Structure 1
Amino acid sequence: MVTTAVAAGAALPSGAAPDPAVAEATATGWVPAPTVPWERPAGVICDFAVRAEPVVDEVMKLVLDEFPDGTPQREIYTGDLVMRVTNLETGAYTDADASGDALIEYHEDGSSTWYVRGPVLMGGRDTGGNLPRGYWRVDGLFTADIAANGEKTVTMVHGTQHDVCTDID
């Protein structure tokens, strides 16, 4: 789950009415956390060039604790997320559910620890860790320790891992 925060007071297009559910959630500290589409060249995540973009994105986040500089130290993510993963060489695509929940602890060295009830999507690279190159749908209960360099170590309590790249190869 790669997300970026949106300010709680983000402007709406002219004439647009705020969603009452979002307004209520924002009043309690929950804010939308839209997922950013991305592309990677062949060999980075999949054997082919790949794009992932949200087709359903109702993810919200709540900051639980902050570092003294105001950046998040612990936050929760939840909400429906379906990513369309497309093989840019053939046009084949699949829609992957990534609607899991996560508590993320950010560490001062730039690393983070995720406590997850999946499914979520995680990219693996040839940079170490125990998540090999691929775009993985990790489902179940697990932790993910993500080093500052992006190396991922996933520790499954119970669940499955599936490389979505194989669905569109």
Structure 2
Amino acid sequence: MRRTALATLTLAAALLGTQPATADTESGWEPAPSSPWDVAAGVRCDFPVHGEPVVDEVVRRVLSTHPDGSERRVAYKGDLVIRVTNTETGVAHDADASGSAVVEYRPDGSQLWAVRGPVLVGVGEGQGTLPRGLYIVDGVYTMDISATGYKAVHLVRGTTDDLCARID
């Protein structure tokens, strides 16, 4: 979700009226803005969906790297509210995705997320332990994302909020 060029994302945040987080170079935290996104009908919900950050104060800090210098473990934190809109009807919901996470990026392209608090999770048909949809998963949990994109969410304690149902 947050792997595109920083300059482009900062510009997008400015155009959307959100203020990206500022860098704290002494502590190693840097802005990690989110981009607007669109998914077609049937991919996550039965209808097309648009998402865009309305509050984006997310920062990230690289905790460790692989021998080749690529990121291995990265911490994320900060306020994030995403407006999720059914583009057929215009019905929208502002979803709080302000959780914190440590993400391990593996050499094969898979990821392991250790999360506390709410995070937006999109799941394709047959691509996760949750049914196809868009969710705010809140609590203490891990999410193992395979190299093929399969998302296994393991709640220690928490809830899931079906955003497709909220904007249907």
- Smaller-chain TM-score range? 0.7 to 0.9
> What is the TM-score with the length of structure 1 in the denominator?
0.87
CA contact (8 A) 1:6 1:32 kept: no
Which residue of the partner structure matches residue 81 of structure 1? 80
1:128 is aligned to 2:133: no
Local SS of the residue matching 1:26: coil
Local SS of the residue matching 1:162: strand
Which residue of the partner structure matches residue 15 of structure 1? none
CA contact (8 A) 1:4 1:34 kept: no
Unaligned stretches of 5+ residues in structure 1: 13-18
Amino acid at match of 2:87: L
Which residue of the partner structure matches residue 117 of structure 1? 116
1:107 is aligned to 2:139: no
Q: How do 1:41-120 residues align onto structure 2 when only pairs under 5 Å count?
A: 41-120=40-119
Amino acid at match of 2:27: T
Cα RMSD (Å): 2.2
C-alpha distance in 2, partners of 1:133/1:108? 27
C-alpha distance in 2, partners of 1:38/1:168? 16
Local SS of the residue matching 1:22: coil
C-alpha distance in 1, partners of 2:95/2:158? 16
Q: How much identity, in percent, do the aligned residues show?
A: 54
Unaligned stretches of 5+ residues in structure 2: 12-18
CA displacement 1:128-161 (0-9 Å, x = unmatched) = 3202111010000000000111110000000101
Provide closer, same or farther for how the CA distance between residues 41 and 5 of structure 1 changes in structure 2, counting only shifts above 3 A: closer
Local SS of the residue matching 1:158: strand
Which residue of the partner structure matches residue 22 of structure 1? 22
CA contact (8 A) 2:32 2:59 kept: yes
Shift of 1:5: 6.3
Amino acid at match of 1:121: L
Q: Rg bigger for which structure?
A: 1
In the comparison of the two structures, how many residue pairs are matched?
159
Local SS of the residue matching 1:27: coil
